[in-house]
């Protein structure tokens, strides 16, 4: 049986049986829904589980498996007698069965027998599966969902981290503290791959001269399986059990062991499960060691090293996701040989030849081993994630192809997109469903042209509804955050008066990394406060986590947090703690304007702005990453990039331009009408932005391009 066949996603392992056993006949459909993340992007999916027990649903972190394990039997009995509820759950479960029966697309290159294997260090599929940190993971999650929707034969490979996500708490001074909540796999929507006796099936990887074992978790994402390797098994020594403990673990030796488990273990897991990928897609350099595993196989089958590498290149494709140096890791020769010292002999080469594959200059023995260099040298296609990023990546890596002209370098681009069903809020989806002809969900430009016919008042009503929901959310969450920080009661109660539903709402949420330049918001505090206090004021919601070991980023969080202390501003600036997928959904749907201030050209793509535009929000961003392609004078606002200026001069210029745009254009346009009327000029921009993003910056368009330019090429 192919692992991609519908039967393989049926309930089977023990945790799943436990949930299933709790559900009486009419509620059985809930078990199959809970164990397939497909529910999370269907209209009515969350609402269905929320209806089981709203409080427990919220407390579970929107996790159906945990909900169904924890909810009292009496409550289950009550909902099983609710005819309307039972009908709804049967309808959704029936639709899932239909979905799983659909044939796979046939013209895409890969087939169910020979799928694309998509390797990534993190997957952000849903807030309830905490194995992601940020944009890379969320994109990878969106890719799997889109592959399922369009029937592209694909399997995902990743790692299961019990500490896959840290929680952020600020103290009263705004200083970030982190805490890890270890995931309990029994409470997650996944099952172990087991043998006929019910024992976990293990893959074995030689690391540091001894065997390390990993079990394999299976997460079902619609039609697409995602396999997560996990070294926390009793057969391993404690140190090896720790390898997959923590996402992006700080210690370098552990980090590179993780990459080996992902890449080498991942391919071995596929072999164990009887899957032979036609294409191995390295989504970022973390997975690059997969090329060496494929080479080892080819050598074991009789090829010499050169022929083996040529064969690897036929099968591997690589996507690079960032020009930031920390994202393109390098390891000293000794670090790599400590880990994989047995490998040169298995490949029939000496260590220097192996190391040369990852050195910027192969013959320079002083250079470290780069995972991105390895991936570039061993893939048939490499792509950046926006047109601008392609330029930058070519400049970065031109020296890997001596003698090849710049325009002939084998790096192309596929600009990122977001999964529309995941990121468009129900209010907008319903609005478009009513007004647009069939085909709009698939990005058909003719269907999207009908956006121009939607009455101003309806678009504005949807925006008002989404903004009002965000204001509600901000108030509720601020009360909880302030209580947890131990703030005085008057300040806690003041949270109920923060934000107003009719006020222009700006959002800025992203990882607090230096190149994202959160600090520009507070560069001129007086000018910022004037905007927050003026008669036609704006309100600002900020969220973002600093890496636990990044003190500079934490100080920045603290400075931003301090902005609320400005007189008259406290009710108009909010820092929401613990940015995650759930918080992201609220922010990207509720904000009117989304700010993005990267230091050009370091934003390879960026995706949160696309999510905002799908919900009728507008972008104000530095011209970098995707915005170089998304910006038109009608779709939003752009700050010109000055990559040639010094950092200080860039910051000064960009901060000035940001405040200027807000004062002169954004605020007047939003408040251009008298009280209670629809701001027509603003709505005209919403239409242009929606059309642009709906037709262009979705995973529908993106995966189509991967098929054309990368998988089939």
Ligand X SMILES: *Cc1c(COP(=O)(O)O)cnc(C)c1O
Nearer to ligand X, 154 or 385 (CB): 385
Q: ∠ CA 148-150-153 to the nearest 5 degrees?
A: 60
- Rounded-to-integer distance, Cα 130 and Cα 546, Å: 17
- Rounded-to-integer distance, Cα 395 and Cα 619, Å: 28
How would DSSP label each residue in 106-156?
SSSS--SSS-EEEE-S-B---TTS-B--SHHHHHHHHHHHHHHHHT--EEE
Q: Which stretch binds ligand X (CB under 6 A): 132-140, 343-351, 363-371, 471-479?
A: 132-140
Nearest residue to 120 via CA among 242, 201, 205, 226: 226
Nearest residue to 3 via CA among 117, 158, 140: 117
Position 593 contacts ligand X (CB under 6 A)? no
User: Which tokens in the block code for residue 513?
Assistant: 């990394």
- Rounded-to-integer distance, Cα 61 and Cα 58, Å: 5
Q: Shortest gap between Cβ of 138 and ligand X (angstroms)?
A: 4
Position 584 contacts ligand X (CB under 6 A)? yes
Q: Which stretch binds ligand X (CB under 6 A): 272-280, 494-502, 601-609, 627-635?
A: 601-609
Report how many residues bind ligand X under the rule CB under 6 A: 12
Position 606 contacts ligand X (CB under 6 A)? yes
User: Which phi and psi angles does 13 have, rounded to 5°?
Assistant: -75, 170
- In angstroms, the Cα distances linking 257 to 103, 261, 339, 377, 391 are 38, 6, 7, 21, 32
Position 247 contacts ligand X (CB under 6 A)? no
Residue 281, beta-bridge partner list: 118, 317
Nearest residue to 24 via CA among 101, 86, 66, 84: 86
Nearer to ligand X, 140 or 707 (CB): 140
Position 126 contacts ligand X (CB under 6 A)? no
Nearer to ligand X, 582 or 669 (CB): 582
Position 138 contacts ligand X (CB under 6 A)? yes
Q: Which stretch binds ligand X (CB under 6 A): 248-256, 258-266, 383-391, 578-586?
A: 578-586
Q: Shortest gap between Cβ of 631 and ligand X (angstroms)?
A: 15
- In angstroms, the Cα distances linking 472 to 38, 466, 469 are 28, 10, 5
Position 120 contacts ligand X (CB under 6 A)? no
Q: Shortest gap between Cβ of 625 and ligand X (angstroms)?
A: 8
Q: Shortest gap between Cβ of 147 and ligand X (angstroms)?
A: 18
Among 148, 176, 607, 689, binds ligand X (CB under 6 A): 607
Check the CA dihedral 248-251-255-258 and report its sign.
negative
Q: Shortest gap between Cβ of 199 and ligand X (angstroms)?
A: 36
Position 590 contacts ligand X (CB under 6 A)? no
Nearer to ligand X, 454 or 602 (CB): 602
Nearest residue to 611 via CA among 589, 632, 638, 626: 589
Q: Which stretch binds ligand X (CB under 6 A): 359-367, 518-526, 606-614, 670-678?
A: 606-614
Q: CB-based contacts of 393: which residues, under 8 Å, 6+ apart? A: 320, 323, 382, 384, 411
Q: Which of residues 681-710 bind ligand X (CB under 6 A)?
A: none
Q: At what angle do helices 305-315 and 290-300 cross, to 10 degrees?
A: 130
Nearer to ligand X, 370 or 617 (CB): 617
Position 510 contacts ligand X (CB under 6 A)? yes
> How many Cα atoms occupy the beta-carbon half-sphere of 346 within 13 Å?
14
Position 214 contacts ligand X (CB under 6 A)? no
Q: Shortest gap between Cβ of 23 and ligand X (angstroms)?
A: 31
H-helix or E-strand spanning residue 662? none
Nearer to ligand X, 122 or 373 (CB): 122
Q: Shortest gap between Cβ of 272 and ligand X (angstroms)?
A: 32
- Rounded-to-integer distance, Cα 709 and Cα 301, Å: 30
Check the CA dihedral 220-225-229-235 and report its sign.
positive
CA 604 to chain centre: 14
Among 110, 134, 277, 636, binds ligand X (CB under 6 A): 134
Position 599 contacts ligand X (CB under 6 A)? no
Position 383 contacts ligand X (CB under 6 A)? no
Identify the residue whose tokens are 């989404």. Answer: 466
Nearer to ligand X, 231 or 607 (CB): 607
H-helix or E-strand spanning residue 676? none
Position 608 contacts ligand X (CB under 6 A)? yes
For the window 541-570, what string marks contact with ligand X as x by the rule CB under 6 A? ------------------------------
Q: Shortest gap between Cβ of 578 and ligand X (angstroms)?
A: 11
Position 602 contacts ligand X (CB under 6 A)? no
Q: Shortest gap between Cβ of 124 and ligand X (angstroms)?
A: 6
- Rounded-to-integer distance, Cα 579 and Cα 598, Å: 19
Q: Shortest gap between Cβ of 385 and ligand X (angstroms)?
A: 10
Nearer to ligand X, 296 or 510 (CB): 510
Q: Which stretch binds ligand X (CB under 6 A): 131-139, 207-215, 314-322, 373-381?
A: 131-139
Nearer to ligand X, 133 or 231 (CB): 133
Q: Shortest gap between Cβ of 488 and ligand X (angstroms)?
A: 31
Position 135 contacts ligand X (CB under 6 A)? yes
Residue 359 exposed, middle or buried by CB count within 10 Å (0-12, 13-18, 19+)? buried
- Rounded-to-integer distance, Cα 150 and Cα 148, Å: 6
Q: Residue numbers of the site for ligand X (CB under 6 A)?
A: 134-135, 138, 510, 580-581, 584, 606-609, 611
């Amino acid at each position: 049986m192919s692992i991609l066949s519908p039967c393989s996603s049926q309930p089977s392992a023990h945790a799943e049986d436990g949930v299933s056993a709790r559900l009486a006949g009419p509620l059985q459909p809930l078990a199959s829904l809970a164990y397939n993340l497909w529910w999370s992007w269907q209209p009515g999916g969350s609402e269905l589980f929320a209806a089981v027990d709203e409080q427990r649903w919220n407390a579970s972190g929107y996790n159906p498996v945990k909900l169904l394990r924890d909810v009292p039997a009496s409550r289950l009995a009550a909902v099983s007698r609710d005819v309307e509820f039972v009908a709804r759950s049967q309808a959704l479960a029936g639709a899932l069965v239909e979905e799983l029966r659909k044939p796979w697309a046939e013209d895409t290159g890969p087939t169910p027998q020979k799928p694309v294997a998509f390797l990534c260090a993190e997957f952000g599929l849903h807030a309830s599966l905490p194995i992601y940190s940020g944009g890379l993971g969320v994109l990878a999650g969106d890719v799997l969902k889109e592959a399922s929707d369009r029937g592209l034969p694909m399997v995902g490979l990743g790692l299961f981290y019990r500490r896959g996500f840290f929680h952020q708490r600020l103290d009263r001074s705004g200083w970030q503290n982190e805490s890890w909540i270890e995931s309990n796999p029994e409470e997650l929507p996944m099952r172990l791959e087991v043998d006929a006796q019910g024992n976990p099936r293990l893959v074995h990887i030689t690391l540091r001269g001894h065997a390390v074992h990993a079990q394999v978790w299976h997460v079902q994402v619609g039609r697409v399986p995602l396999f997560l390797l996990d070294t926390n098994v009793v057969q391993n020594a404690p140190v090896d059990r720790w390898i997959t403990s923590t996402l992006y673990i700080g210690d370098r030796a552990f980090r590179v062991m993780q990459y080996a488990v992902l890449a080498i273990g991942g391919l071995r897991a596929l072999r164990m499960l009887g899957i032979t990928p036609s294409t191995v897609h390295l989504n970022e350099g973390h997975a690059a060691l997969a090329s060496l595993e494929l080479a080892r196989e080819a050598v074991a089958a009789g090829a010499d090293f050169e022929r083996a590498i040529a064969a690897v290149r036929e099968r591997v494709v690589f996507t690079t996701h960032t020009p930031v140096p920390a994202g393109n890791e390098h390891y000293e020769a000794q670090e790599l040989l400590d880990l994989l010292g047995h490998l040169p002999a298995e490949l029939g080469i000496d260590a220097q030849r192996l190391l040369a594959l990852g050195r910027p200059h192969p013959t320079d023995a002083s250079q470290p081993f780069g995972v991105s260099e390895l991936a570039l040298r061993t893939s048939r296609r490499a792509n950046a994630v926006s047109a601008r990023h392609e330029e930058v990546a070519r400049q970065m890596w031109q020296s890997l192809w001596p003698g090849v002209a710049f325009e002939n370098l084998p790096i192309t681009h596929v600009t990122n997109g977001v999964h529309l069903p995941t990121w468009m809020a129900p209010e907008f989806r319903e609005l478009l469903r009513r007004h647009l002809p069939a085909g709009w969900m698939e990005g058909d430009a003719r269907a999207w042209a009908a956006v121009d016919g939607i009455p101003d008042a309806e678009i504005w009503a949807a925006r008002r509804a989404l903004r009002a929901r965000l204001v509600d959310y901000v108030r509720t969450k601020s009360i909880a955050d302030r209580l947890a920080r131990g703030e005085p009661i008057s300040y806690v109660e003041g949270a109920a008066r923060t934000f107003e539903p009719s006020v222009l709402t700006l959002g800025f949420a992203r990882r607090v990394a230096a190149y994202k330049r959160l600090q520009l918001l507070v560069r001129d505090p007086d000018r910022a406060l004037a905007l927050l206090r003026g008669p036609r004021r704006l309100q600002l919601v900020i969220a973002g986590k600093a890496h636990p070991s990044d003190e500079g980023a934490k100080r920045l969080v603290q400075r931003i947090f301090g902005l609320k202390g400005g007189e008259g501003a406290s009710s108009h600036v909010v820092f929401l703690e613990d940015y995650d997928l759930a918080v992201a959904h609220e922010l990207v749907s509720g904000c009117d304007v989304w700010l993005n201030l990267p230091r050009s050209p370091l934003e390879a793509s960026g995706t949160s702005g696309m999510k905002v535009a799908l919900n009728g929000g507008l972008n104000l961003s530095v011209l970098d990453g995707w915005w170089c392609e998304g910006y038109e004078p009608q779709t939003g606002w752009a700050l010109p990039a000055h990559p040639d200026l010094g950092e200080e001069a860039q910051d000064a210029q960009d901060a000035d331009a940001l405040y200027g745009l807000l004062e002169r254009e954004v605020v007047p346009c939003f408040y251009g009408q008298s009280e209670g009327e629809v701001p027509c000029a603003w709505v005209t921009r919403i239409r242009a932005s929606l059309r642009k993003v709906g037709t262009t910056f979705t995973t529908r368009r993106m995966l189509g391009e991967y098929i054309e330019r990368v998988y089939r090429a």
